[in-house]
Structure 1
Amino acid sequence: MISALMPNYNRADLAFEQGQGIWLQTADGRRFMDFGAGIAVSSLGHAHPKLVHAIAEQAGKVMHVSNLYRVPQAERLADLLVQNTFADSVLFCNSGAEANEGMVKMIRRAQFENGHPERTRILCFDGAFHGRTLAMIAAGGNPAYLKGFGPVVEGFDHIPFNNTNTLRDAITPETAGIIVEPIQGETGIKTADVHFMKALRAVCDEFGLYLGFDEVQTGVGRTGKLFAHEWSGIAPDVMSVAKGIGGGFPLGAVLATEAVAKHMTPGSHGTTFGGNPLACAAGTCVMTEILAPGFIQQVEETGHAFGAMLQNVVERSNGVFDGVRGLGLMRGLHCTLPVGDVLSAVINQGLLAVTAGDNVLRLVPPLIVTPADCQMACDRLIAAALSFSPAKGDTNKEFAS
């Protein structure tokens, strides 16, 4: 007999009762270091006192009014985002997939309003992941996610990631824009190189296309910059944001330049819940903390140290891991054994992580982690690796409980 919850998730047999900082605790008292952060969502960790207060205070006033009225909390958060990014205007929604849908609509709408109704196709990249709606599984192009859901939504073309040789030839008179993740998260923590990112910007400028960045996972400080595209020294025309911006409360956003945003006139798009007072109170708290002096610099420094520690994990893993990927606090360890088996061993050592494509173990801890926390996590990763086949002369003596 089917369970009350639909069987579309392969859930670990763990249920957490409470959390504090980077730690989660089960009802029977077991404690785990959380280096998954709800898939890069819990940017300030668990039970952050300022975030808890902001949510509780707003919930005690008004949670929802809809977008039929002004929402001062949304206005404040939009101002904060505009002041600190390339964007001139912001649309709020509820999730990453919804933000990506909005980004595609904005690109198409801007082309239409500029006299190019034929420009509707979006150029995407092999290995992309943009969400689970019907349009976004088409944008991602992964056959496993498309299977069984009928005709594939039209309007998306795919070329190799990090390959400039195929870029220009893929552009047609119907191309409206390009969307790309600065780091492909779901399919294996694959980082776009600077040359590739700059080439995307140059091609869009040359052909009159709009450049969209999917920063749902890479944004809000995750890589050691407020947004990952800043590492390349370029800016998009439009960008999707979600996950870490709400610190655990559902919130998404589409940020855009005036040239794109001005075409989203009344009736062109909408959302019942998006940008409600409660979500935006949470988002404002998160953004205020991340923009506080020294916060992102600390993420960059800790992320750099974490990368070096993970190289040491690879060297001491007796071949279980053979490479480190990513930037900042968005890291991946490529596994030589099935990643599901490796994750089970890692959980047995009291560490939570997330699997990704290409047999990669994904490590995306809360942004509040310290170098000492990262070292403790690495000790547990080594212990997990050596549980398969311990290297001669090596022990688990450095494991910190």
Structure 2
Amino acid sequence: MVAERPAPVVTERPAPVVTERPVPKGWAEKKPSLEATGARAQVLVIVSDHGSGTSNFANALNTHPCVQDIGEPFGMGQMLWAASDETAACSGKRTPDSIFDTDSTGTLKNTNNPKLNTKIEAVLKSLKLGKLQVATGVNVRSLYEGLTYDLADYFVRIHDLICKEVPADVCPPSNCTISLKMFPNYVNGRTPTHHTKDDVAFSSCEEAINVKAMTAWKDALMSFEQNPKITTIAYQRDELHRQFSNFHRFDDAGTEFDCSLPRPLDMFQTFSKDHTDAQLQSEDCWEDSNKCLSEALKLVGLSAEPMGPEATELMAGVDLKESKDNDGGVRAVDKYLDPDSKSCSTNPTATFKRLENFGVQMLAPGGLSKLAAPHQVRGAQGWDATFGWDVPGWDANFVPSTPQVIFEEYEEPESTQTPLDFLDE
């Protein structure tokens, strides 16, 4: 008889110590209320992190005729809002390209954002205005003329650039709104997935990066708080299921994930809960999408009345355009996952292994502590626990090599339990 191994003692990673930066001039007090000014917020910022279900939420908002969704305006390996060179702690590691330096906040480093350009072009195409270079009056360079270290101003400039191109018969100019996402990695923040008890604590490099990133995160959210044209929603998801979603989509085959480990909110999400105009939980929004969409639109002075059933279906992960009849639809699930696959939702103390093509395999129903034999942990040649594969611009947590959402038809499983772990952004 083999004696059961005692459960491992798991200690939470300590949060980096963040030094408070003096509050910039003009940011000492919050923006006046809409009731006091009679103004309307024009930019809706969804403050969240990868794997939280923000894509479903943003796609649903985008069905409103007066909402143009930009999605992710920044991207690791393309362009960030702010980052800093941590040469002392991160010797030999390349600093991501960014518009501003976190330390020298008055210095504009880059005046071109390839990812944002692509997003703007996609919006113009949806309005049938063609490519950037041929669309009348579109000048992305204007986004950077006189730009200071003020993310709210940058987002308002994006709004003005896009909304002047929206035809009045689509949406009255006074109602035109854009939505964007705000994730920690836009300021070079690292929020790695906690896989097993054997994960290493933050390295000195990772900790140094997050100290600077947290300062930039606070600066960004404070700029939103002070600008009456900006309104914000903290859109969060149960941290276990958010991390499992990233694990099965982005990690290498062979990587393991122990559902039983504690996974508290990181410092970025904790701060955003107290510095946003509204707070929504993705699980609640999947349950009652109409309520969440109405609350979000109310923040920008819009009504949900022009939106049809497509919005609520998109929140639930159904693509009506691929539907064969009015009763069914095509569920947004990963191509290689069964909709009734085992996950942390069905087995909250289990350990899973990542297979090829998004698949997962349950290794131990009761967690790694119940295994009688040693288990594999992530560790392949070239892997760096902080930066992912040691290739410039590559971050395994955030840059998938295959499409993140693939629509595939399936029959509804007999089980009534929804596999929330497999719902993507």
Establish whether TM, by shorter chain, passes 0.5: no
- Which has a greater percent of helix? 1
In the superposition, the TM-score normalised over structure 2's length comes to 0.29
